[in-house]
Amino acid sequence: MQIRESAENYLETILMIQKEKGSVRSIDVARHLDFSKPSVSRAMTLLKSNGYIIMDADGQIHLTESGREIAERIYERHELFTRWLVMLGVDPEIAAADACKIEHDISDITFEKIKSHILEEHPNYKL
C-alpha cells in the first residue's frame, strides 16, 4: 500500500491526537502540524475520498480500517526510531525530527530487520 508521505503524516497525526485526547477535529490537526485550516480541510477531503477517514456530523474525524493500518505502521516506526536515536545519545527533539524523515522512506523489510535487531539487543525495549 503506497501513499504519499503527506497523507501518512496526516494519518499519523490523527492517530496521535486520538490517543492523547480521544477525539479529533480538523482544527486539532491544524494546530498539531502548524498548518492552515484550509490546507488541513483540503487534506481531510482527500483522505476521506480515498477511504482513509470518515467524518461524523459533529466534525469528528475517525480513521477507517485502512487509515488506521497506515497510521499505526508509521507511528510504530516513528516511536522505534525516536527512542532508538535517543538511546544512542541524540537530543530528543532532533531524534523525533530525524525519525519523521526516516519513517517514510525505509522499506518494510529494512524496518523489520532494524526492529528485530534493536529488540534482540535490548530485550526490555518497549514500543
Quick: pLDDT tens for 56-86.
999 999 999 999 999 999 999 999 999 999 9
- CATH architecture of the domain 5-69 equals Orthogonal Bundle (1.10)
Greatest pairwise CA separation for the chain in angstroms: 48
Q: What are phi and psi of 62, to 5 degrees?
A: -130, 135
CATH class (in words) of the domain with range 75-121: mainly alpha
Evaluate whether 36 touches 54 at the Cβ level (below 8 Å). no
Residue with cell 525530527: 97
Quick: pLDDT tens for 19-59.
999 999 999 999 999 999 999 999 999 999 999 999 999 99
| pLDDT for the residue 1 | 45
Q: How far apart are CA 25 and CA 78, in angstroms?
A: 22
| pLDDT for the residue 98 | 95
| pLDDT tier, 4 (very low <50, low <70, confident <90, very high otherwise) | confident
| pLDDT for the residue 127 | 65
Q: Is 90 left (phi over 0), alpha (psi -120 to 50) or beta?
A: beta
Q: What's the pTM value of the predicted model, to 2 decimals?
A: 0.86
What are the residue ranges spanned by the domains of the chain? 5-69, 75-121
Buried b or exposed e, range 57-71, using 16+ CB within 10 angstroms: eeeebebbeebbebb
> Are the folds of 5-69 and 75-121 the same?
no
